[in-house]
Amino acid sequence: MKIELNVGEEFPEITGENADRFAKELLKIEDSDYQEVILDFTQTNSISSMAMGSLFATYQKMMSENRKIKIVNPNENVERLLKMVNLGDLLDSTEK
């Protein structure tokens, strides 16, 4: 099963204030049966370091279970941050 989620609808800014809620949403994804998850960041303007840590943990867990997670349509700032912390593998290069 595959799912695409519009992250920006609920999280236009992922800050320290809502990073815990974002992490809980990622845990739901980890616990799901989805084999492929696409996170659409079109409407997400920024992401905190806490949220990036949660993304990394979700990425590691899903990869260890041979499942896929990708981020599509990040803005330049979010993309640059993800690459700076070695989360560039989450970016879907086919969307560029």
Residue 26 lies in domain: 2-95
Number of folded domains that form the chain: 1
pLDDT in tens, 27-57: 999 999 999 999 999 999 999 999 999 999 9
Q: Could you give the CA distance from residue 44 to residue 12 in angstroms, rounded to a whole number?
A: 4
pLDDT tens digits along 64-96: 999 999 999 999 999 999 999 888 889 986 544
Residue 92: per-residue pLDDT? 81
Distance, in Å, from the CA atom of 71 to the CA atom of 92, rounded to the nearest integer, reads: 6
Residue 38 near residue 4, CB atoms below 8 Å: yes
Specify the 3-state DSSP secondary structure of 60: helix
Sign of CA dihedral 25, 29, 30, 33: positive
pTM: 0.90
What CATH number did the domain enclosing 68 receive?
Answer: 3.30.750.24
